[in-house]
Amino acid sequence: MRAVHKRYLREFLPAMTAYVVLILGSVWLLPQLQNTPLRVLATLVPVIPIVFVLRAMFRVIRDQDELERRIDLESIVAASAVVGLGSFTYGLLLSANVLPQPRAETVAVWVLPALFACFGIAKCLVRLYYRGR
């Protein structure tokens, strides 16, 4: 594994671990809190490690070699297109009342995970393309 990817794992894994711990803590704590500022704090604290996850991603994209960067950027474009078009289509169907109405927070919370999942799938496909003959 190249140094740039080792650094990525060193940055990504602790941030992701912190996120899991904080989100579990937040879910456990929220029902016990009545005070609004405390509820806001408990809800938003898990977002902090996600910022570090994104920072790790930006740094690895910037510092890896040119083909790796191209693969990541093409994958991000594909993932953004799929999630953007998918959510737009879903929104149109919801506004036409042909689908059961979900809770707004459920839709909003799933945007980022959907983006990450689509990025992962797109990256596998783009890598296959560049693997060559």
Partner 1 sequence: MNNRVRELRSERNWSQADLAERLDVSRQTVNAIETGKYDPSLPLAFKVAKLFELTIESIFLPEE
Contact footprint for partner 1 (CB under 8 A): 2, 64-68, 70, 127, 129-133
Instruction: Tell the smallest beta-carbon distance from residue 108 to partner 1 (Å).
Output: 36
Q: Residue 61 corresponds to which tokens in the numbers above?
A: 């994209």
CB of 15 vs partner 1, minimal distance in Å? 24
CB of 126 to partner 1, least distance (A): 11
Whose Cβ is closer to partner 1: residue 37's or residue 132's? 132
Looking at the Cβ atoms of 59 and 127, the one nearer to partner 1 is 127
Q: Which is nearer to partner 1, 11 or 63 (CB)?
A: 63
DSSP one-letter string for the chain: --HHHHHHHHHHHHHHHHHHHHHHHHHHHGGG---HHHHHHHHHTTHHHHHHHHHHHHHHHHHS-HHHHHHHHHHHHHHHHHHHHHHHHHHHHHHTT-SPPPPHHHHHHHHHHHHHHHHHHHHHHHHHHHH--
CB of 11 to partner 1, least distance (A): 19
Q: Token pair for residue 4?
A: 């740039």
Closer Cβ to partner 1, 39 or 127, answer by number: 127
